[in-house]
Amino acid sequence: MKKIIYTKVGGLEAIDIIEQEKENIGEREVRVRVHRAGINFADLMMRQGLYGASPDFPFTPGYEVSGEVIEIGKLVSKVNLNDRVIAIPGFGGYSEEIIITENRVIIIPEKMSYDQAASIPVTYGTAFHMLVHLGCIKEGDAILIHHAAGGVGTAAAQICKAYGASLIIGTASSKKKDFVESLGMHFVDKEKDDFVKICKDLTGGFGVNQAIDPVAGKHLMRSYKALRNGGKLHCFGASSAVPKSKRSWFAALKMWIDTPRFNPIKMMKSNKSVFGVHMGTLDDERIFNSHLQELNKMMLSGSINPIIDSIWRFEDVREAQRHMHDRKNCGKIILDFAPK
Ligand SMILES: NC(=O)c1ccc[n+]([C@@H]2O[C@H](COP(=O)([O-])OP(=O)(O)OC[C@H]3O[C@@H](n4cnc5c(N)ncnc54)[C@H](OP(=O)(O)O)[C@@H]3O)[C@@H](O)[C@H]2O)c1
């Protein structure tokens, strides 16, 4: 059984593929033969040692996979042998097989492909948590999405549409204009345009109802300024700390120093809220599972449909991660672990 590991803190050279002995499964665990594993921006941050909630090196990254159940523990009751499933290990998903507790496994509807299934949990789960669960998105709302062409960004845009948002403003690099517009967003060039001004201008001076910001640093205050009275800001990442594939202490420190400290007393005047969101440390599994059930329904009804940028054989994992570092992806990047 092969799996990918991060050998040490580092750039792409810190990625290796090793052979691992099979381990026995526990009574409430299942063994999943992985077909697809999602690549997330957090995987890049972990490799650079810039992700608080990650194991000690060496370790195998990989939040989410899709695959088939090939062994079940004696007390497992929720899934059966040969079931097609999504599994959310948190870590360890970049692997031909994983062992996981049955509570973190969800059966995939018949119509859903392994590609689609591996694209849903992190991106759609996070976007749904912010916009619907915390943000209570309503018909007619105006929403600002950063990294609009990426995994979470494209999922967020579809969720906004499904919930009747009337204006979706998406920031990305200039080459992605057509792609962002094709998703029904008003495109904002992140290098050239002033997104705060555009948010105000397009909403009659009021600002947006919600903004989702995975950039942090000074950018976060600008997203806050783009909100209307009563608006909600979700801080859910720190991409400004990871400018390249090699770690930059300078960028990480700058992000940390520049990220605003919000004062709730001052915030009272504008009724704005700021949420810190990290799905990986959300410890009530019921919340995330109910998001996934709802997303499965939306997927089957056709109101959402994961946009897959590219699928790479797991042996090409370095190139796949480089593709994300180079900001080339439009949609989700997937690793293919299926038997050849
Ligand atoms: N808190 C949570 O639970 C949670 C869950 C999932 C994701 N996230 C965060 O959400 C963000 C998006 O995640 P994702 O997995 O969907 O990735 P993604 O958006 O597909 O990430 C790649 C894209 O991000 C943009 N980008 C901006 N700054 C970048 C940088 N410094 N390096 C490389 N790309 C950069 C690039 O597009 P443009 O430059 O064209 O915009 C690039 O194509 C990340 O910050 C991630 O950490 C948080």
Q: What is the pLDDT of residues 303-314, one digit of tens each?
A: 999 999 999 999
pLDDT over 90 at 339, yes or no: no
Report which of 335, 337, 329, 336 is spatially closest to residue 309, judged by C-alpha positions.
329
Q: Which domains does the chain have, with CATH numbers?
A: 2-120+307-336 (3.90.180.10), 122-280 (3.40.50.720)
How much of the chain exceeds pLDDT 90, in percent?
Answer: 91
pLDDT computed for residue 53 by the predictor? 79
Ligand 1 site, residue 126, Cβ cutoff 6 A: yes
SS3 for 69-135 is EEEECCCCCCCCCCCEEEECCCCCCCECEEEEEHHHEEECCCCCCHHHHHHCHHHHHHHHHHHHHHC
pLDDT value of position 263: 95
Residue 179 in contact with ligand 1 by CB distance below 6 A? no
Determine the pLDDT at residue 110.
Answer: 87
pLDDT tens-digit series, residues 168-182: 999 999 999 999 999
Rounded to two decimals, what is the model's pTM?
0.95
Residue-wise pLDDT tens digits, 103-125 = 999 999 888 999 999 999 999 99
Query: Which residue type does 205 have?
Result: G
- Residue 282 Cα: closest atom of ligand 1: 3
pLDDT, one tens digit per residue, over 183-213 is 999 999 999 999 999 999 999 999 999 999 9
For ligand 1, atom 33, the nearest C-alpha belongs to 325
Confidence at residue 320, expressed as pLDDT on a 0 to 100 scale: 98
Q: In this structure, what token pair is assigned to residue 316?
A: 């090409």
Q: How far is CA 205 from the centre of its chain?
A: 31
**Mean pLDDT computed over every residue of the chain:** 96
Q: How far is the CA of 155 from the centre of ligand 1 (A)?
A: 12
What is the whole-number distance in angstroms between the Cα of residue 21 and the centre of ligand 1?
34
Q: Is the CB of 172 under 6 A from ligand 1?
A: yes
User: Is 46 in contact with 9 (CB distance < 8 Å)?
Assistant: no
Ligand 1 neighbourhood includes 279 CB (under 6 angstroms): yes
- What is the band of 160 on the pLDDT scale with cuts at 50, 70, 90? very high
pLDDT per residue as tens digits for the range 223-276: 999 999 999 999 999 999 999 888 899 999 999 999 999 999 999 999 999 999
For 284-337, what is each residue's pLDDT tens digit?
A: 988 998 999 899 899 989 999 999 999 999 999 999 999 999 999 999 999 999
Selected residue with higher pLDDT from 225 and 52: 225
Average pLDDT over residues 16-41: 97
Per-residue pLDDT at 1: 94
| Ligand 1 center from residue 30 Cα (angstroms) | 31
Q: What is the mean pLDDT of residues 12-29?
A: 96
